[in-house]
Amino acid sequence: MHEKDRLDRITRSIIGATIEVHKTLGPGLLESAYEACLAYELRQLGHKVEQQKPLPAIYKEVKLDCGYRLDLVVEDAVIVEIKAIEQLVPIHDAQLISYLRLSDRRVGLIINFHVPLLRNGVKRIVNNFPDSAG
């Protein structure tokens, strides 16, 4: 399976699990509650899920522990940043792009559970995403 196909399959599975969590809980809870429930759903689907994974920053070959944490990492490939806020703003995109670069990963999802309709709260961000020719 091509890397692009694998990443697309994982992100579709994450979005499906996210829909289930949102349908069950609705908006209005804390990010930590959504994170725990989404991690549970993804594990039920057979995915490897890491929660609150530390992310060091590398500066001129020096590893710095700046306290960055990735909400979820699924299959060691897709970063999921969970929000429960009124509205996503450009800094949220910038944060995820930085996390993708620092961790050398290709795709991430920002999921904002504080929306009535979940499809308005899911945003996919890519970093040097592989093309289908690979």
- What is the band of 131 on the pLDDT scale with cuts at 50, 70, 90? low
Environment class of residue 61 by beta-carbon count within 10 Å: exposed (0-12), middle (13-18) or buried (19+)? Answer: exposed
Q: Give the tokens for residue 59.
A: 């500066």
Q: Give the tokens for residue 18.
A: 């996210």
> Residue 45 in contact with residue 13, Cβ under 8 Å?
yes
Q: Is the pLDDT of residue 130 over 90?
A: no
Q: Which residues does residue 126 pair with via DSSP β-bridges, in sequence order?
A: 107
Alpha helices in 26-67 (DSSP H): 31-44
- What is the band of 133 on the pLDDT scale with cuts at 50, 70, 90? very low
pLDDT digits (tens, 9 = 90+) for 64-116: 777 789 999 999 999 999 999 999 999 999 999 999 998 999 999 999 999 99
Q: Give the tokens for residue 82.
A: 């969970």
Which helix (H) or strand (E) segment is 7 a member of? Answer: helix 3-25
Environment class of residue 42 by beta-carbon count within 10 Å: exposed (0-12), middle (13-18) or buried (19+)? Answer: buried
- The full set of domain ranges for the chain reads 3-126
